[in-house]
Amino acid sequence: MKKAVILNTAKFNFDGKLDFAGLEKIVEVVRYDASSSDEILKRSEGADVIITKELPLPEELIRKLPDSLKLICEAGTGFNNINLPAAKERNITVCNVPGYSTGAVAQLAVSFILSLSSSLARQQIMIKQNRFDNFTKSLQLPHHEVQGKTLGVIGSGAIGRQVIRVASALDMKVFYHDINPGTFDDGNIKYAPIDTLLRESDFVTLHCPLTEKTRCLMDISKFRLMKKTAYIINTSRGALIKESDLIEALKHGEIAGAALDVQETEPPATDNPLFKMDNVIMTPHIGWQTLESRQRLVEQLADNIRFFLDGKPVNVVS
């Protein structure tokens, strides 16, 4: 039986609730909670497959991986942590697991939209501060319907499309932008250049991969195109936003607020100014972390390995 090593299992099985039985029927599985760079090389010895979750595999490390290794499985959608040219040079196939958390991440993005529209987080902050004005006086914070508002979706892959479907069901107008735009039948859903999308949208949500072209996609020039009443939402990759520019835009009222499940540096420093801003919602990259999504991830990892061993690799990104 071929051998697969999971190098940082605790990254996605942090609660110990996942079932690996399906994977263990296909390969011998060795699991480690976490692995340093030095430990990766030692633990990969004799392995046919290594499985990682957002674990950096730079060029110099991949060049030193054992000759037995034929497949790297990234336990997630993004794979910017793996040096693909080095893997190709070593004739190591790299695959990812797209779609395992589509519903969960889309759900969080829509939750952010609904929370921002009703100032839900800010109302809870007031209560924690023993400020009960919202109960005794007129409403102190913005409160809007999403119906009829415009949502800008940057990236119309699986997650972006799911967000579009839910937003459409909420009677929102939708502009979307993508380097490979698809087609939608609904008249309320329209493709737009990114500048138009930013100018017209009440909410902008990011759903594109992190590449050299998309890194710092949202900088101060982009924030200044947005409405001062608009919100930015990011459940994709933190570095899509130039964080220092976002902080500047928020401080100077260029936009109304932000909801961030991902940050430029994770975890963010405890003195990050975003933590102290009342108009910012921050969560610790939880979009993909539902129990259902994580179990689906394990099952799809098993499928990736099975297809690869059968000579019919799927979800190849290298």
Any idea which residue has 């994709």 for tokens?
236
Q: Among residues 264, 268, 258, 261, which one has the least CA distance to residue 285?
A: 261
* Residue 266 appears among annotated catalytic residues: yes
Return the closest-CA partner of residue 207 out of 197, 31, 147.
197
Rounded to 10 deg, the angle between the 102-117 and 291-309 helix axes is 150
SS3 (DSSP) at 171? coil
Retrieve residue 232's tokens: 């930015």
CA angle 39, 211, 282 (to 5 degrees): 80
Please provide residue 198's backbone torsions phi and psi, each rounded to the nearest 5 degrees: -65, -40
Half-sphere exposure at residue 142, Cβ-oriented, CA atoms within 13 angstroms:
15
**SS3 call for 302:** helix
Among 250, 168, 179, residue whose Cα is nearest residue 208: 179
Choosing from 237, 254, 264, 294, the catalytic residue is 237
What is the strand order of the sheet 93-95 is part of? 28-31, 3-6, 49-52, 71-74, 93-95
Instruction: Give CA separation, 54 vs 25, 131, 264, 273, in Å.
Output: 25, 41, 14, 25
Q: Reply yes or no on whether 243 is catalytic.
A: no
Active-site option among 43, 165, 285, 306: 285
Q: What are phi and psi of 177, to 5 degrees?
A: -135, 140
Q: Look up residue 7 and give its two tokens.
A: 């190098």
Which of 28, 39, 266, 292 does the annotation list as catalytic?
266
Residues recognised as catalytic: 237, 266, 285
